[in-house]
Amino acid sequence: MDDYLVFQLYAPLAAWGGQAVGQERPSDDHPSRSALLGLLAAALGIRRDQEAEHQALSHACRFGIKLPAPGLALRDFHTIQVPPSAKKQQHLQTRRDELREPKVGTMLSFRSYRQDAISVVAVVSEDEHYSLQRLNDALLEPVFPLYLGRKACPPALPLNPDIIPAPDLKTALDGYCMDPLLVECCAKWLDAASRERNDNTLSAAERCAISSRYYWEADMESGMDHDFQTPRYDQPLSRQRWQFAPRDEFVCLGGE
C-alpha cells in the first residue's frame, strides 16, 4: 500500500507541448512530465534559476495520468515581432528592448492546444523534502500562478488535491472524486464518443472504460497491463538551458 497525491487538471485551453520543430509548436493530449514538474515547482515557489531545486524535484517525483477526456485539438496561427539577428547586436534583456529596435521583423508559427481536456494526475514522491503533504499544501496555496502548459492556459477549476492510499496507481486514479462539473463534462464527452461510434447500447461504465486512457512511468506499480510503451522527450535535464531527454512512457488504452 502506497500513498498517491491525486489532483485534477482542467482548462478551456491546455498546451502540453511536444517536440517543437521549425514553426510548429505541437501539443500532446495529456500532460508531459516536464509540465507537471513545472506546475509543482510553481506551486512550491521554485524560481527558474534554481537549477538544483528543479533537479531534486525531478528526481523525487514520478507521475501517472488518467485521461477521461482528451478534448479537441485547436491549431492557432501565431505571429510575433522580433528584431533581426546580428552577430554584433547587443544582448536584448527584455521584450521592451526588442520592440525598441529600429527594424523589427515578423516570425510566424503554429501553436496547438487542447480544448476542454480533463486529466487526473497521481504523484509518488520518494523524497521527504518534497513529501506528498508538502506538495498537497502547495497546490492548495501556490506561491506562483499555475497554468497548464502555457501562461495563456490557467486552470478553470481548483486542482482539489487529495492523498489517497492505494495498492496501485490505477486504484488511486479511479478512486479520486473529480469535481461534479468535470463529471458532467466527461458525460457529455462520452455521449459524443458514443454517437460517433453509432452505438447507444453501451452503459456509462462501459463508455467510461472506452474513453479513459492511462499513462505512467517506469518502475511504478500500475495495477494494469500496458498496451504499448513509447519514448517521450520530456525528462528535464536543465531548466536554464531548456534541455530534455527521452524516457519510456507506458500506455493502457482501456476499452479501446
| DSSP string covering 86-98 | -TTPPPP-SHHHH
What CATH number did the domain enclosing 234 receive?
Answer: 3.30.70.2660
Taking only the tens place, the pLDDT of each residue in 118-158 is 999 999 998 899 999 999 999 999 999 999 998 889 999 99
Residue linked to cell 505571429: 79
Residue type (1 letter), 186: C
**Model pTM greater than 0.75?**
yes
Residues whose CB falls within 8 Å of the CB of residue 168, separated by 6 or more in sequence, listed in order: 221, 222, 223, 224
Per the structure block, which three cell numbers stand in for 40?
509543482
Residue ranges in the chain assigned as alpha helix (H) = 33-44, 51-60, 95-99, 132-140, 169-174, 180-196, 204-211
pLDDT for residue 210 is more than 60:
no
| DSSP string covering 133-168 | HHHHHHHHS-SS---SSSTT---SS----EEEEESS
Comparison of pLDDT for 24 and 66, the residue scoring more: 66
**Gap between the Cα atoms of 152 and 218, Å rounded:** 31
Mean pLDDT of all residues in the chain? 84
Average pLDDT over every residue of 69-74:
88
Taking only the tens place, the pLDDT of each residue in 20-62 is 766 777 788 899 999 999 999 999 999 988 999 999 999 999 9
pLDDT value for 205: 46
pLDDT for residue 214 is more than 60:
yes
Q: How many CA atoms lie within 13 A of 165 on its CB side?
A: 1
- What domain range is 155 assigned to? 2-252
Domain count, the chain: 1
